[in-house]
Amino acid sequence: MSEFVHEITQGDFDAKVTASGLPVVLDFFSTECPPCEALAPKFDAVAEQFAGKARFFKIFRQGNKDLAKRLGVTGSPTLLFFKSGKELGERMSGEEIKRSAIKAQVESLLGA
Amino acid sequence: MADRYDVIIVGAGPAGLAAAIYASRARLRTLVLDESVPGGQMKTTHKVSNYPGFPEDVKGTDLAKAFSTQAERFGTQIRRAIEITGHDLSGPMKSFELDEEETVEAPAVIVATGAKPRELGVVGESKFRGRGISYCATCDGAYFEGKEIHVIGGGNSAVEESLFLTQFAKKVTIIHQFDHFQAEPVSAAEALSNPKIEVIWDSEPRAFLGETQLDKLRIENVKTKEVRELATEGVFVFVGYVPRTDLVKGLVKMNQWGYVETGEDMSTDIPGLYVAGDIRSKQFRQITTAVADGTVAALAVQKYVKAHGKAAA
């Protein structure tokens, strides 16, 4: 994981995601999930690009089942986008997540 | 300045990696590009039982790792999680722009981008993707621990992944459009005798329903036309594949289903442009047939590159 991405647990969700002053991108990942491995370097790259403007967190699904359930996340990887405590925009899920698509969605969060 | 290779292979599935093993062993400067990690469809297959050389079942991800390690041992460079943001494959020197920031080029290219899971095109499918609908059992199976779920399809993937899902789910109901499975008899028999698996034959999904989460599935019996709604806690879709042809669309001949037509040596109408694996028009698509295509393409590329100039070492 790069220095621009931090792993959180469900206990941190309110403080780090909901209460964040900056937009947040949250990545639910699992083990034995090749699409999650594939997403990681793209996620790191976009996180570095938006350093200081948006926050990028990862959360391990198996260890944080309650939050996954509460948010209705049923697949890995799934990206959720938050601004001012609210989830905004389309979730991204599965193997086909493109770096350019994450970037575009973060840009639209910053502009929104 | 573009980085120059002898051959650039797009797609690190079995076809692309077999081609890479042969090309790099022939001392061609070989670059493999993949938007994900190596393995193609193989890497999300929970077990492979019919690949020769493995007397016991092998995990798809382990087989994928073995393929890529072998290619890298001979000098292949594999670029993972790369996005191709531009390309020109029509001329004698073919080039790719990667992540909008660098360019690579080679006289020969093998497109081995394979196929991706077909979506059903049913109402609600995109809304509930990741909110109850999944296309990867190894990735998402554990989300459905103790749940009652449905699988759409009846071919090898559908039946084998259903068996895998019984490790997690309380009950797996397979919905299949015909009155028998298309899967290999061994797996089909295993599924039919599994107490956790039930099958609804002759039926197709018509809609996925719910508020924010998927909770119902509408199906129609194609023989009786009876429509009904089933409560569900999750749906896995395995209804075949569509070729990934974005890179070569408009450049090469395709059959009516969108697969690329090639010569016996995997060549296309464009000199130096080859395709291999599931993207190609052919009758059977297996790991073994993909590997065979990749081998043939790499041998043809060796000849082509020899005739058209190798990059300086």
Pairwise CA distance, residues A14 & A71, whole Å = 13
Q: Coil, strand or helix: which one is B264?
A: coil
Q: What percent of chain B has pLDDT over 90?
A: 88
Can you tell me the mean pLDDT for A23-49? 93
Tens of pLDDT, residues B260-299? 999 999 999 999 999 999 999 998 899 999 999 999 999 9
Residues of chain B in contact with residue A76, where contact means CB-CB under 8 angstroms, are: 139-140, 143
Q: What is the DSSP string of B122-187?
A: -BTTTTTBTTTEES-HHHHGGGGTT-EEEEE--SHHHHHHHHHHTTT-SEEEEE-SSSS--S-HHH
pLDDT at site B1: 74
Identify the pLDDT of residue B312.
56
Given an 8 Å threshold on Cβ–Cβ distance, is B138 in contact with A33?
yes
d(CA A78, CA A15): 20
Q: Note the ipTM here.
A: 0.81
Sheet holding B235-237, edge to edge: B133-134, B235-237, B148-152, B171-175, B197-200
Neighbour tally for B282: CB within 10 Å? 16
What letter represents residue B29's amino acid? R
* Average pLDDT score over residue span B303-310: 88
How high does pLDDT run on average in chain A? 93
Q: Which residue has the tokens 């005739």?
A: B307
In CATH, the number for domain A5-106 is: 3.40.30.10
Indicate if the pLDDT at residue B237 is higher than 90.
yes
The nearest CA of chain A is from the CA of B115 a distance in Å of 12
Chain B: give the shortest CA distance to residue A106, in Å.
17
- CA gap A78, B145 in Å, rounded: 18
Check CB contact under 8 Å for A75 and B140: yes
Helices B287-308, B14-25: inter-axial angle, 10-degree rounding: 40
pLDDT of residue A31 exceeding 90: no
Average pLDDT score, chain B = 95
3-state secondary structure at position B283? coil
Least confident of A90-99, B30-39, B78-87: A90-99
Give the burial class of B280: count Cβ atoms within 10 A of its Cβ; 0-12 exposed, 13-18 middle, 19 or more buried: buried
The pLDDT value recorded for residue B313 is 52
pLDDT digits (tens, 9 = 90+) for B34-68: 999 999 999 988 889 899 999 999 999 999 999 99
Q: Single out the residue of B257, B247, B301 nearest to residue B283, CA to CA.
A: B257
Q: pLDDT exceeding 70 applies to what percent of chain B?
A: 99
Q: What is chain B's percent helix, strand, coil content, to nearest 5?
A: 25, 30, 45
Q: What is the average pLDDT across A76-92?
A: 94
**Exposed / middle / buried, residue B47 (Cβ in 10 Å: 0-12, 13-18, 19+):** middle
pLDDT for res B158: 95
DSSP state for residue B271 in the 8-state scheme: T
Q: Which residue has the higher pLDDT, A2 or A76?
A: A76
**Residue A76 and residue A29 in contact, taking contact as beta carbons nearer than 8 Å:** yes
Instruction: Verify whether the Cβ–Cβ distance B131 to A72 is below 8 Å.
Output: yes
How far CA A108 is from CA of A23, A103, B249, in Å, comes to 10, 9, 31
| Res. B170: pLDDT tops 60 | yes
A32, A40, A74 ranked by CB distance to B134: nearest: A74
For residues B204 and A98, give the distance between their C-alpha atoms in angstroms, rounded to a whole number. 31
B100: which chain A residues are within 8 Å (Cβ-Cβ)? 100
- Residues of A within 8 A of B135 (CB-CB) are 94
